[in-house]
Amino acid sequence: MNEREAFVRGIAANLYDDTPRLAFADWLDEHSEHDRAEFIRVQCELEPMRDQYEIPRAAELHEREEHFGSRGVRQSGEAHEWLGAMPKDWNDWKTGIDVEFRRGFPDRLKLSAKVFLEHGAAIRALHPTIRRVVIHCLSGWGGRLAACDALRGLTELELACWYSDDDMKALAASPHVGELQVLELWLDRQSETGTDANLCKLAVKAKAWPKLRELVLLDPEGDSEKRIKKLVTSTNRSAKRKVARYERGYPELFPLSGAFCYDWPVVGRLSDGRAAVVERDRTPGPGALMVRTFDAAGAPTGEEIRVPLPQELANAVEADNWDSKYTQVARAALGFEPGFIRVQEDALGGDFGPWRGHSNDWNRGGLADDPENPTDYNGDPEPNGIGSEISWAVRGGEFQVGSSGWADKTGRVHST
C-alpha cells in the first residue's frame, strides 16, 4: 500500500471525521496537487452549512465547489476525473448510477437495487469513502439485495422508494449490514404497499443492524409532518430509546435568490431587513415598480409599495431588468438590495408561484414499482423507477417557478 492509498484507507476508517481528510489535503499540496487539496478543504468547510445559501460564506464556497464540477459528476470537470476507473457506461442514463462528492470524496452512491447487485461491489471497492448508498427500485428485490455481500461494512443506507413488508423483512435479516449506523426510510406508503407503522416496526425490531444509531423517517412531500412525528414517538417507544427522527423531504420554505427568475421579479431585502419582491407594476397608469413584503415566516404581509419610475423607464416599451435599471430605482427609493430569501408556497402569487412542480410526479408517490419493469408516470420504460423520479425534487430541492421555470436549492431558475 502506497502513501496515497494509506490516506484514503484512513479516511474510509473514520468517515465522520474531517481530520484525516484535511491531513490528506496538506499531503496533496506538498505533492503539487493543489486543486484536489483545495476541493477537499472547500467541501469540508461547506458541509455544515451546505443548504444555508443565505450565509455569504456558504454562497462563496458553493461557487468554488461548482468550479470543480462536483455537482453532476456525469458532466465534465475535475471531480469527474477524480472518480477514476468506474464501471463501463456507469453514467449512461440506462444504468442510472449517480455519485455525489461530499467533504472532498465520493460519499453517496445512488442506484437501483438491480444495478447495485451488478456494480455495487466494484464501486465500493474503488471508493471506500462512500458513506451512504441510496437504493431505489427495491420492490421485489429485497431478498436479492439482502444476500448481496457488497453491503458489508456500509454505514448508511437510504431506501428511496416504496416496497413491501417482505422486502424489509429480508433486509432486516441480512447477514451483511451489521455495521449500519443510519437507515433512512421513505414513508407515505400507499395501503396496497403496506402501512408506515409496520415498516418502522420491522426496521426498529431488526437484529441485523445492532449498531443502528439513527432511523430517519422521511416525509417525501413534506405534508405529513404531524402524522409522521407521531410515528417517530411510537417508534422510539417501541425501541425503548431515541433512535427515530423526522426529516422533511420537500422544503417548507422555498429559496429564492436575487434575480432568480431571469429578469422579473427580483427578490431581496429592504433597508430595514424585510424580505421583499420587486417587479414592474402591471396595472394601468404611469409606469412604476410594485414592491411586496414578506414576514419572518415567508408569508406575504399584504403590503404593497408603489415606487414611481423616472420618465425614461416609465415609457420604456421593454420592461426587462437585464441592466438592473429597475433594481437601481428600488435601491434608491427603499434601500432594496437583491439577495437570498425564503417564502411559502405560492407566496409570490399570480404566475410566479413557487410550486412543488408537476403533480404527475407525486401521483404515484407511495406506490411500489413493478419489480422487473419499473416505469415512470407515463408508462415509458424508466430504469430509475418512481422513487428516483421524484428524488430530484426531494433531495435536490427542485421546484417550479412561473409557467415553466425550474429552480433548486440555490434559489435560481436553471431551466424552462
Query: Which of 125-134, 173-182, 321-330 is predicted with the least confidence, judged by mean pLDDT?
Result: 321-330
Instruction: Quickly state the pLDDT bin for 193 (edges 50, 70, 90).
Output: confident
The Cα–Cα gap between 88 and 393 comes to 28
Q: What local confidence, expressed as pLDDT, does residue 74 receive? A: 42
HSE of 194, CA atoms in CB hemisphere, 13 A = 20
Contact 186, 163 (CB under 8 A): no
Tell me the three cell numbers of residue 224: 405529513
Which stretches of 298-350 are DSSP H helices? 311-314, 325-334
Q: Is residue 75 scored above 50 in pLDDT?
A: no
Tell me the three cell numbers of residue 104: 472532498
Query: Which of 132-136, 298-302, 351-355, 385-389 is predicted with the least confidence, judged by mean pLDDT?
Result: 385-389
Q: Is residue 71 scored above 50 in pLDDT?
A: no
Q: What local confidence, expressed as pLDDT, does residue 294 receive? A: 97
Q: Is residue 402 scored above 70 in pLDDT?
A: yes
Give the number of other Cβ atoms within 10 Å of residue 319's Cβ.
15
The Cα–Cα gap between 117 and 299 comes to 47
Instruction: Quickly state the pLDDT bin for 72 (edges 50, 70, 90).
Output: very low
Residue 369 burial by Cβ neighbours in a 10 Å radius (0-12, 13-18, 19+): buried
- Antiparallel, parallel or unpaired: β 132-136 and 156-159: parallel
Q: What SS3 state is found at 117?
A: helix
Q: Is residue 196 scored above 70 in pLDDT?
A: yes
Give the number of other Cβ atoms within 10 Å of residue 393's Cβ.
23
What is the pTM assigned to this prediction? 0.90
Q: What local confidence, expressed as pLDDT, does residue 218 receive? A: 97
Q: Is residue 161 scored above 60 in pLDDT?
A: yes
DSSP per position, 14-51: TTT-SHHHHHHHHHHHHTT-HHHHHHHHHHHHHGGGTT
The Cα–Cα gap between 39 and 168 comes to 38
The mean per-residue pLDDT over the stretch 73-93 comes to: 72
Q: Phi/psi at 226 (nearest 5 deg)?
A: -60, -45
| Helix pair 34-46, 56-67: axis angle to 10 deg | 150
Instruction: Quickly state the pLDDT bin for 377 (edges 50, 70, 90).
Output: low
Query: In terms of pLDDT, which residue wins out, 344 or 84?
Result: 344
What DSSP state is assigned to residue 76? S
Residue located via cell numbers 441480512: 174
Query: In terms of pLDDT, which residue wins out, 48 or 391?
Result: 48
- Antiparallel, parallel or unpaired: β 341-343 and 254-256: antiparallel
